[in-house]
Structure 1
Amino acid sequence: MGLTFFKNTVLLIVLTIISCGSSTEKKEQIEEGKVNQKVKDQIQDTTLATLKKEDIVVGAEQFQLYSKFLKGKNVGVVANQTSFLASENAHLVDFLIANNISVKKVFAPEHGFRGTADAGEHVKDGIDKKTGVPLISLYGSNKKPSPEQLKGIDVIVFDIQDVGARFYTYISTLHYVMEACAEMEIPVFVLDRPNPNGHYIDGPILEKENQSFVGMHPIPVVHGMTIGEYAKMINGEGWLINNINCDLTVITMQNYTRKTPYNLPIKPSPNLPNAQSINLYPSLCFFEGTFINAGRGTEMQFQVFGAPSLPASQYSFKYTPQSNEGAKNPKFKGEVCYGKDLRKEPRLSKINLEWLIDAYHANGKKKNFFNSFFVKLAGTDKLQKQIEQGFTAEEIRATWQKGLVEFKKTREKYLLYK
C-alpha cells in the first residue's frame, strides 16, 4: 500500500491542542489572549485555509507540538504498525528514540506491535528486536495496563489508526489505557488520525447488558469520530470506572475534514488490507457472528463472503479459504465457498443489511446461521431477532433512528473537525 494521501481543495487547518483535565485547577482558561501554560489548557486559534491544496498532517507528524512535553520524561507508547510518520518515513517509536525521547515501554493492542497476529490470537510480551524496548501486550487477559506495568512511566503517547467501527477493538484498548492512566495520574497524549469511515453514522446502539471488548460503550456500530474525538467522549461521558477523568491531550490534525478522502498508508490489521475492505468492514463484520466466511483465508478479506452451503444459483462467486497471515485457521479452510464478490462496490454511506438478510434466507438451516458472537457484535439481541422474524432492512433501520438522533447530539460536544 502506498504512502499517498488524498488531497482536497478546501481544507480546515486545525492547529489546536485540545485538553481535558481531571480537576478544577486544570480547566481551560483563556484571558486577554493568554492561555494557561499547562499542556492540558493550551488552545491555539483555529484558522481556515481556503483555495489551497494541502496534505493531511496527522497528530504524530506534529512533533513540534508535543515534543516539549516528552523530553526528559519516561515515555510509554501505545502503538502498532500504523503508528507511522509518512513525512519522516519512520515508525513513531523509532522516530521518538532518534529524537532523544526516552521510550521505556511499548504497549501493543490486538494483532501486536507489528500487526501480524490473527484476530483474537494471544500476543506475548517481549522485547522489540529493532529498538530493544520492552513490549507489553494489551490483548488477551491483560487488556488494561497494570500499575506495575505503568510504574516509572511519566507520560503515555497513544497513536493507533482506527477505522471507525465499534467492534474494532482499538477504541476498547484506548478506554483501558485512559482508565489505567487516570488511576495512576499519568497524562495521556492521543495523536489523532483520520477516520476512513468518518463520513456517516449508522447501526444499533450498544445496550449495557451486551458490553464486551468488541463493544464497550453505548454508541452505534459506525460512530463517525476520530480516535481523538472518541477519547474526549470517553472522558466527557464518564465512561471510565468510578467516573474518573483522564488527563487527556489530543494533538489534532491539519487539513482534515470529515469528508476529506483518505487512504490509509499502512493496513490497520492483517484482515483489512486495503481501502475497500475498510469501507465494507462495518457491514461484513456481522458475518463474523454467523457461520459465513467473510473472506478470511483469502487476499480478499472483508471484500467477499460465502459458504459451501449457499446456493450456487444465487451466489455464483467461488473461492477457497486457505491459511494465511491473520487467518491461520479460517472458516471452511480448503472448501469451496459460494458467495458474493464486493470488491467493486461503491463507497458506502450506511451499513448494508441486505447482504446479511439475504444470506440468512438463502441458508437452508436457519437455526445454524447465527452464533453467540453475533449479539456481541450487534450490541443488542434485537437485530438477530428482527432478521429471524423477517424484518426488511428498511424496517430494521427504522428502529435505530431514535438512538442515532440521541447519539448525534451527544457526539456533537466532542467534535474537533467539520
Structure 2
Amino acid sequence: MKLLLSLIAVLSFYLVDKSPSTHVAVPEAVTEKDQIQTGAEQTDKYLPYLRGKRVAILANQTSIIGKTHLVDSLHRLGINIVKVFGPEHGFRGNASAGTAVADEADQATGIPIVSLYGRKNKPTKEDLADVDILIYDLQDVGCRFYTNINALARLMEACHENGKELLILDRPNPNGYLIDGPILDMRFRSGIGMFPLPMSHGLTVGEFAQMANGEGWLTNKVKCNLRIIKVANYHHDMPYDLPVSPSPNLNTQQAVMLYPSTCLFEGTYLNHGRGTYFPFTVLGSPELKGKFEFSFTPTGIKGMAETPLFMNQVCYGLDLRNYDIEQLRQKKQINLQWVMELYKASPHKEKFFDSSLSKEMGVIERLVGSGLFRQQIIDGKSEKEIRASWEPGLSQYKAMRKQYLLYP
C-alpha cells in the first residue's frame, strides 16, 4: 500500500502547479452529486510538494484524512514533520475552552508539540528556524467569535516575518450559507473578534486568508505567501456534517448549526447548555421558573465545563435540540428572537447582559460587535429595526467578499 501511494505521489508531482502563488489545485466543475473532498483528503495535490521539506503543522482533532489524523497519516507516509503547533483545546482537542495548553511531545508519534494557546499565541523565530513550510488544517464553523481564524492570522504573520510559505488545506464551512450580523466595530476588538467581519462571515478558512491578505488585516498590513488546496465538489450553500466535533462544547451537528445564534448567550446571565452534554442547544436560568416548562440542570463536566453557570441548579428555558435547522437555512439569518424572548421573560432585566463568564460587562458588545445591541434589546426594538442598524456595513461586506471567494 505504501509503495502504491508513493508511486501515485511521484506521478502526480509532474501534474501539480509548483509555483508559490496563492491559488493552486483548482478542482474541476462542481456538481452536487459528487462527494465533497476536503483539502487534506486530496493528498495527490500536496504530498509531492512536501517531499524533502521540513514541515510544521497547526492542527487539532479535526485535522483528519478519512478517520486518521493528518499528522499520523503524513508521518506514516514519510513526510518530515518536525513539529506540531497546537491551538485552543490542544492538538488532540482534549483541553477545555479557555484553558492554557502546555508544550509536550505527542504520545502517538513523538513529534514535539508547541502550544499557541498558553505562553504565546504565534510561532517565534526560534520555533520556525528548522521549518521550511507550515501547514494549517483546522475545521472552522464560520463565526467571527470562533478563534481558529485568529490563530490563522497570527500564523500568517509569523510566516511573513520568517520568510515561510503557508499551505492551507481548506475545509467546508458548515455555516457557509450564512452571512449575517453587524460588522465588528473595532472599538470592541478582542480575542473573540479581531477583524471587521459580520458575526457569521460565510467564508472558508482559505477564503478568509485571502481576505486578510487582500484587505491588509495582518499587523502592519503584511501579506503571507499562501498555497491553498481547495475543497473539491463544494459550494457555500451545501449542507456539511462535520465528521469530528470542532471543540468540546460543539459536540453535535445541531450545536454547530445553532452556534451563530446561541453563542450570543455567552454575553448574558443565562446558561446556554454548558455543564450539559448538549451545549449551545438549550438556554435557561433558575429565574425563569414558571415562565417555561422545559428544564435542565448544569453540572461540572471535565473537559467541557467544570464550573458552569448555575451549577447544580435547575434552569428553565428553551430546548432547541430538535429545532428545524432548515428554518435558519431558508431565512439565511441569525435568530434574534431567542434573545428577545428570553429578555422579555427575565424577571431581573438589569442582570440579563451581565455575563458570568468574564465577571464584567461588555461581553455582548464584543460578541455582537456593536455598541447598539444591548440597548436595542432593552428598548424593545423590533428585529427589523435592529437589522437596519447593521447596514450599510453588511451589504458592503457582502460585495467585498466576492473578490476572495474560492467557491463562487
CA distance in 1, matches of 2:145, 2:240: 21
Alignment partner of 1:319 out of 286, 296, 311: 296
State which of 211, 215, 222 in structure 1 corresponds to 2:189.
211
CA spacing shift, 1:356–1:49, aligned 2, 3 Å: closer
Query: What is aligned with 2:259?
Result: 281
- The yes-or-no answer on 1:38 pairing with 2:23 is no
The yes-or-no answer on 1:47 pairing with 2:23 is no
After superposing the two structures, state which structure 1 stretch, 373-382 or 230-239, moved more: 373-382
- CA offset at residue 43 of structure 1? 4.7
| Aligned counterparts of 1:41 and 1:239: Cα–Cα separation in 2 | 17
2:152 maps to: 174
Distance apart, 1:140 and its partner CA: 3.6
| Larger deviation, residues 242-251 vs 378-387 | 378-387
2:224 aligned counterpart, secondary structure = coil
Distance 1:92 1:356 in 2: 39
Flag structure 1 segments of 5+ consecutive residues without an equivalent. Answer: 1-33
Deviation, 1:148, is: 1.9
CA distance in 1, matches of 2:364, 2:23: 43
Residues 311-332 of structure 1: per-residue CA shift (max 9 Å, x gap): x333211100011131111111
Output the amino acid matched with 1:65: K
Q: Cα distance 1:109–1:45, how it changes in 2: closer, same or farther (>3 A)?
A: closer
Match of 1:355?
Answer: 338
Using the alignment, how far apart are the partners of 1:221 and 1:144 within structure 2? 24
Tell me how many residue pairs correspond in the alignment: 381
* Structure 1 equivalent of residue 49 of structure 2: 69
Note if 1:84 corresponds to 2:67. Answer: no
**In the aligned structure 1, how far is the partner of 2:394 from the partner of 2:366?**
19
Distance of 1:109 and 1:303 partners within structure 2: 25
Cα deviation code 1:359-395 (max 9, x no counterpart): 1222222221113322211122211121122212221
The one-letter amino acid of 1:384's match is R
Q: Give the secondary structure class of the aligned counterpart of 2:175.
A: coil
Is contact 1:120-1:140 (8 Å) kept?
Answer: no
- How many Å apart are 1:225 and its aligned residue? 0.7
Q: Distance in 2 between matches of 1:147 and 1:340?
A: 49
Letter in 2 for 1:313: G
Q: Is the partner of 1:376 in helix, strand or coil?
A: helix
331-340 or 116-125, which deviates more = 116-125
Shift in Å at residue 131 of structure 1? 0.8
Specify the SS of the correspondent of 1:48: coil
Q: Which amino acid aligns with 1:302?
A: F
Q: 1:370 aligns with which of 348, 353, 356?
A: 353
Letter in 1 for 2:347: G
SS at match of 1:136: strand
Q: CA deviation at 1:35?
A: 10
Contact 2:264 2:368 in 1 (8 A): yes
Alignment of 1:15-414 (within 5 A): 37-40=18-21, 43=24, 47-48=28-29, 53-86=33-66, 89-310=67-288, 312-324=289-301, 325-347=303-325, 348=328, 349-371=332-354, 372=361, 373-414=363-404
Moved over 4 A (4+): 34-37, 41-46
Q: Could you tell me how far 1:182 is from its partner in structure 2?
A: 0.8
- TM-score when normalising by structure 2: 0.90
Q: Distance in 1 between matches of 2:30 and 2:216?
A: 35
Return the letter of the residue paired with 1:318.
S
Q: Distance in 2 between matches of 1:231 and 1:308?
A: 43
Q: Percent identity?
A: 46
Q: TM-score, normalised by structure 1?
A: 0.88
User: Residue type matched to 1:356 in 2?
Assistant: V
Distance across 2 between alignment mates of 1:411 and 1:49: 20
1:417 match:
407
For the Cα contact (< 8 Å) 2:26–2:229, is it kept in 1? Answer: no
How far apart are 1:300 and its partner, in Å? 1.2
CA distance in 2, matches of 1:304, 1:45: 41
Per-residue deviation, 1:159: 0.3
Which amino acid in structure 2 is aligned with residue 201 of structure 1?
I
**Structure 2: 5+ residue stretches without partners:** 1-14, 355-360
Amino acid at match of 1:374: I
